[in-house]
Amino acid sequence: MNDVFVGRLMSSPVETVRVDTPVVEAGRTMLDEGIGSLVVSDGDGHLEGIVTATDFVHVVAEELAAGATTVGEVMSTGVVTTTATDDVRDVADLMLERDIHHVPVVDPTEGVVGMLSTTDLAAYLSRSASPEQT
């Protein structure tokens, strides 16, 4: 993965929701799109947080009333981000260190432009790595 940049592997465009979106609606979006996370943004498109499949486990485990619960109540804040020009190896190391599976890719002028996930990394490895013959 040397000299491979995030922009090459990231998924784009990114599905977003607002803080006041009901978790039921967010969950449906994730199922419909076949994705494991949603970017949470404000009305101006600024990153507010991220909601992941893990957050939905907390909704169930904590017996939150899913119909009344909003994304803002369960999302993660203080989100680790990256840029399209960052080295994939560095971001993968960070994901391992922080035990995270989704990293929004941000651009200073455009906001969130993509998402790098462990699925994206695994797909790249499966396409590029070939077993060594012994």
CB 114 within 8 A of CB 84: yes
* Tens digit of each residue's pLDDT (9 = 90 or more) over 53-66: 998 888 888 877 66
Question: CATH second-level architecture of 6-128?
Answer: Roll (3.10)
pLDDT tens for residues 70-118? 999 999 999 999 999 999 999 999 999 999 999 999 998 888 999 999 9
Average pLDDT over residues 17-37: 94
Contact 81, 90 (CB under 8 A): no
Q: In the predicted model, is pLDDT for residue 126 greater than 90?
A: no
pLDDT number for residue 133: 42
Does residue 88 or residue 129 have the better pLDDT? 88
